[in-house]
Amino acid sequence: MASWLPVLKAALPYIGNIVAEAVPVFTSRKEHDASADLVSRQISELQEAVTSNAEAVKVLAAQVEKTIAALDAGEDDLAQRMAALQETLAHCDSSANLAQAQVTRLEGVAAAIQIRADNFDQLLVKHHRHERVIAAIALFALLIAGIALLR
C-alpha cells in the first residue's frame, strides 16, 4: 500500500483536470432551438474534452511509469545495500572469532609465562641458599686457615 503513495501523489493534480474535462460545459440550450449549429458546438466541446482527457491521461501514465521505475530502482539499491550489509556482518563475525582465538592463545601464553616466572623464582631461592652455604663454608675455611696460622 505504501508503495502506491507516490503514484497517488503524482496523479492527484491531473485528476481534477480529467474530471473537469470529462464533464463538458455545454452551451445553454433552449427548448425550441435544436439547430444543427448547437449540436455541432456540443460535439466540438466533447471532442475538445476527450482530447484534453487523453493528454492528461498520457501525462499521468508517464508520471506513474516514472514512479514505478523509481520504486524498482530503489528496491534494487536496497537489495544491494542489504547484501553489502550481510557481507560486512559476516566479516565482523569472522573478525570476532579470530579475536577470540587470539585472546585464548594469549591467555595460554600468559599462563606459560607465569609458570616460567614461578620456576625462575624457585631457582633464585635455591641459588641464594647455595650462595649462603658457599659463603658459610668459605667463612668457615677462612676461620680454620686463620686458626692454623695462629698456631
The 10s digit of each residue's pLDDT in 8-18 is: 677 667 777 76
The x, y and z cell numbers of residue 140, run together, are 668457615
Full-model pTM? 0.43
What is the structure's pLDDT at 3? 66
User: Would residue 21 count as lying in a domain?
Assistant: yes
pLDDT in tens, the chain (151 residues): 566 666 667 766 777 776 666 655 544 545 555 577 888 888 889 999 899 899 999 999 999 999 999 999 999 999 999 999 999 999 999 999 999 999 999 999 989 889 988 888 888 887 777 788 888 888 888 888 888 888 7
Helix or strand run (H / E) with residue 38: helix 36-150
Cα gap 31→150, rounded to integer Å = 167
What is the structure's pLDDT at 25? 53
Amino acid type, 57: V
The 10s digit of each residue's pLDDT in 73-87 is: 999 999 999 999 999
User: Would residue 118 count as lying in a domain?
Assistant: no
Cα gap 43→28, rounded to integer Å = 14
User: Would residue 146 count as lying in a domain?
Assistant: no
User: Would residue 120 count as lying in a domain?
Assistant: no
User: Would residue 134 count as lying in a domain?
Assistant: no
What is the structure's pLDDT at 4? 64
What is the structure's pLDDT at 19? 63
Q: What size, in residues, is the chain?
A: 151
Expressed as residue numbers, the domain containing 6 is: 2-108
Long-range contacts of 116-120 (CB under 8 A, 24+ apart): none
Cα gap 48→140, rounded to integer Å = 135
User: Would residue 138 count as lying in a domain?
Assistant: no
User: Would residue 85 count as lying in a domain?
Assistant: yes
CA–CA distance from 17 to each of 13, 59, 90, 147 (Å)? 7, 11, 54, 134
- Number of structural domains (the chain) is 1
Cα gap 53→42, rounded to integer Å = 16
